[in-house]
Amino acid sequence: MAQQPLPTSDLDHILNQTKTLWDEMQHKHLFITGGTGFFGCWLLESFSYINRQLNLNARATVLTRDPSAFAMKCPHLAADPALAFLAGDVRSFSFPDGDFHYIIHAATETSGRQAAEQPLDMLTTIIDGTAHVLRFAQTHATRKLLLTSSGAVYGKQPASLTHIPEDYLGGPDPLDPGSVYAEGKRISEQMCALQSVHSPIEIKIARCFAFVGPHLPLDAHFAIGNFIGDVLAGRPIRINGDGTPMRSYLYASDLAIWLWTMLFRSPDLVPVNVGSGHDLSILELARAVVQSLNASVDIHVAKEVIPGAAIARYVPSVDRARRLLGLNETVDLQEAIRRTAAWYVAEGKGGA
């Protein structure tokens, strides 16, 4: 089923916040991996819109396993002559001809099911994909490359650390099979550092946390997406744990603003957390979804809170993004929830 374009108000906001960055993209060619997922749809649509509004005459080539499937999903993007779609696997795609001055490597595997059932395939996709993209960058005149890494590289966030900074040197347990995604991202960052020793390419590292917005699945392993989906379908919200873990959510228009800013302006090999610093518990999140959407559904919490137990956290410090790049969160959580729900309602997915 074809999905509608993103709201013009969001695209205008991205343009207004990044307008001064785009001069260097005039007549240039961008290569994007992972261009058809949640991140990719926002990056592609904002690129397409800004390219037209500013008359950049830029082009983008998008790697996807199935161009025809994406054309059915987003026909308005498939019809843009500035966008070309290359069929292939990130680990082995054939290099297209020409110079690609900019690369965004956003292809990754985030499926919780795949991590549990096919962890080695997830690991090789992340690692071999990054290696292949770096080889491509070396041979195609790339000047700037943005890697979308993850806050997972920090491992378990200490309960005493409310907001985790980029200089925290903890890490995931390498003997825990559940760390496969995090370890893949850590190795990808290391590969970028090794590449940088012998290359003039500027490599930017975005350590991404949690997000909300149109295109976020409502039936996957994203709590906020599931909660919005429950409310739209009139179902009770069910929290499988005790509701105490702390999270934060950045709206996708801000995500796009941050990623474009990082591609053009972030220093070489300086990791920057991408996310919201406004934290709340999973139970508070469920209540925020209900309140933001003026709903009357019940919230069921499966487990009792254990007194004195350490609270799990996954919340970034965004001080570096603010200080280094002037980035801020411009859409609050309640508005982000409302915009996400409104887009899905317009998609015809607002009922059971």
Specify the pLDDT at position 352.
39
d(CA 8, CA 320): 30
Give the distance between the most distant pair of CA atoms in the chain.
Answer: 61
What is the reported pLDDT for 108?
A: 73
For residue 115, pLDDT over 70 is answered with no
pTM (2 decimals)? 0.96
Separation between Cα atoms, residue 125 and residue 302, nearest integer Å: 35
pLDDT above 80 for 351? no
Half-sphere exposure of 59 (CA within 13 A, CB side): 10
Percent of the chain with pLDDT over 90: 89
Which has the closest alpha carbon to 254: 163, 330, 312? 330
Instruction: Report pLDDT for 282.
Output: 98
Q: Residue 122 in contact with residue 179, Cβ under 8 Å?
A: no
Q: What is the pLDDT of residues 12-67, one digit of tens each?
A: 999 999 999 999 999 999 999 998 899 999 999 999 999 999 999 999 999 999 99
Q: Which is nearest to 299 in space by CA: 249, 214, 237, 244?
A: 237
CA distance 16 to 8: 12
- Residue 349 clears pLDDT 70, i.e. is over it: no
